[in-house]
Amino acid sequence: MKKLTINQIAQLANVSKGTVSKVLNNYPHISDEIRERVMQVVNETGFERHHVAKLLANNRSDIIGLIIPSGAKSVFSDPYFPHLTESITRASNRFGLTLSLLLFYAEHENISATKTIITNGLLDGVILSGDRKDNTIMPMLIEKKTKFVFLGRPMNGEAVHFVDVDNFGGGKQATSYLISRGAKRVGIIACNHNWAGVHRYEGYCAALKEAGIPYDPNWVAEADFTLDGAYHAMNRLIRADVDAVFATSDTMALGALKCIREHRLRVPDDIALIGFDDLPVALQSDPHLTTIRQPIEGQAQHAVEILVQLIETPDMPLRQMVLPTELIIRGTTR
């Protein structure tokens, strides 16, 4: 019998090529029904195990992983992560790759489970989200010589492939715009959980200094990239009598907007407001949210492209990209 390709097996089993690769590689998270369907085609067509070895002789599964260190609760409550995951999935599919989302209920479960998957060689490479400063997964990937691309910038300046956005420039642009519209007491809802938040805060400080406005610690309220955290942070800023607020994520801007309204203040007449991300929710608020657009789709596309190049050419030169942000003016500023 003529030897079948993995693509032909996928067509006969009515599954994707990536799913066939997962079954043949004994990938653990495959339903019994799918596994039996694929193996039935394999057995009925005489597709022997040594043929599998030949087809996978290049050590490729056509599966890449996306690791988000935050626990599942944080990921599904923040609209940034679904947008990021969708963008990376779309970019992966353009290259004929299947994306496997490595997500666990609690952050402490990530290391052991991820280590097992990486060690088993189930993935061709990994995209690692830099959503925490204390990213404990990167050292393990480096130690295991895993092909990976980092979304963000590494904490200790490790020489790794990464794609980031200009968070400092975006933070400075957001603050400068509020000042240019007449704001004198600009507050910030900051988050120092990751370097993106830190750099946005540093951009805020730079804009104040450039405008000759003295830094006031009462204008700084910490939150955790959540609606509820931003709501309570905004309460503190209202007591500090700010006339404008830079919320360092769109999610936090919406939490701030809710708090402002409950104090019977008007946006933007009493307090101007600007976010960061330009997620779809920015158009669902009333008024629509002025924000700093970060190119999430572009970041995903570049990350997948670099990872594909790295898989094909492991000794390729180091690639580190910083993408520009864009001010999007809508109704929450004057």
pLDDT digits (tens, 9 = 90+) for 95-151: 888 899 887 766 566 666 777 777 777 789 999 998 777 777 888 899 889 999 999
- Domain shared by 111 and 229, yes or no: no
In terms of Cα–Cα distance, which of 142, 163, 25, 11 is closest to 91?
Answer: 163
pLDDT number for residue 21: 75
Rounded CA gap, 99 and 289, in Å? Answer: 32
- Domain shared by 133 and 203, yes or no: no
Phi, psi (rounded to 5 degrees) for 120: -75, -10
Residue 122 falls inside a structural domain: yes
Q: Which amino acid is at 139?
A: P
- How many domains does the chain divide into? 3
- Domain shared by 123 and 200, yes or no: no
Percent of the chain with pLDDT over 70: 90
Residue 197 near residue 248 (C-beta atoms within 8 A): yes
Q: How many CA atoms lie within 13 A of 216 on its CB side?
A: 14
pLDDT number for residue 10: 85
Length of the chain: 334
pLDDT over threshold 80, residue 73 = no
pLDDT number for residue 96: 83
pLDDT number for residue 107: 59
- Domain shared by 69 and 156, yes or no: yes
pLDDT over threshold 60, residue 56 = no
Residue 187 falls inside a structural domain: yes
Tens of pLDDT, residues 138-157: 888 998 899 999 999 887 77
Q: Which amino acid is at 284?
A: Q
- Domain shared by 275 and 180, yes or no: yes
**pLDDT band at residue 94, thresholds of 50, 70 and 90?**
confident
Residue 1 falls inside a structural domain: no
- Domain shared by 172 and 286, yes or no: yes
- The more confidently predicted of residues 154 and 71 is 154
CATH no. for residue 18?
A: 1.10.260.40
Residue 223 falls inside a structural domain: yes
Rounded CA gap, 51 and 211, in Å? Answer: 68
Q: Which domain holds residue 232?
A: 167-294
> Any idea what DSSP says for residue 213?
P
- Domain shared by 173 and 282, yes or no: yes
Tens of pLDDT, residues 166-183: 999 999 999 999 999 999
Give percent helix, percent strand, percent coil of the chain, each to the nearest 5: 45, 15, 35
The strands making up 98-102's β-sheet, listed across from edge to edge, are 98-102, 63-67, 125-129, 148-151, 162-165, 320-323
Rounded CA gap, 147 and 175, in Å? Answer: 38
Give the bridge partners for 323, in sequence order.
165
Task: Say whether pTM exceeds 0.85.
Answer: no
- Domain shared by 202 and 309, yes or no: no
Structure tokens at 1: 């019998």
CATH no. for residue 247?
A: 3.40.50.2300
